[in-house]
């Protein structure tokens, strides 16, 4: 008994990296920082805005449960 090597195809190894270039990284970090400042400002504004006390839960559940 003997074995015979049969050529069935070719393979190629592709090496890639998940790294991004510094210019793109700086742009993304800049947008993240800008968004973080906007969220902090929005929270501060929301905390200083007067709000009327509303009981909306009963209305919503009444609608959902058809009561």
| Mean pLDDT, residues 30-34 taken together | 93
4 burial class (0-12, 13-18, 19+ CB within 10 angstroms)? exposed
SS3 10: coil
pLDDT of 67 over the 80 cut:
no
Neighbouring residues of 2: CB distance < 8 A, sequence distance ≥ 6: none
33 vs 26: CA distance, rounded Å: 10
| Mean pLDDT, residues 4-24 taken together | 89
Band (pLDDT 50/70/90 cuts) for residue 27 is very high
| Mean pLDDT, residues 11-26 taken together | 89
The reported pTM is 0.52
Domain boundaries defined on the chain: 20-50
């Amino acid at each position: 008994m003997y074995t015979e090597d049969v050529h069935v195809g070719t393979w190629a190894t592709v090496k890639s990296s998940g790294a991004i270039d510094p210019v793109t990284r700086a742009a993304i970090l800049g947008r993240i920082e800008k968004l973080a400042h906007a969220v902090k400002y929005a929270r501060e504004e929301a905390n200083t805005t007067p709000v009327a006390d509303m009981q909306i839960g009963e209305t919503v559940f009444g609608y959902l449960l058809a009561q």
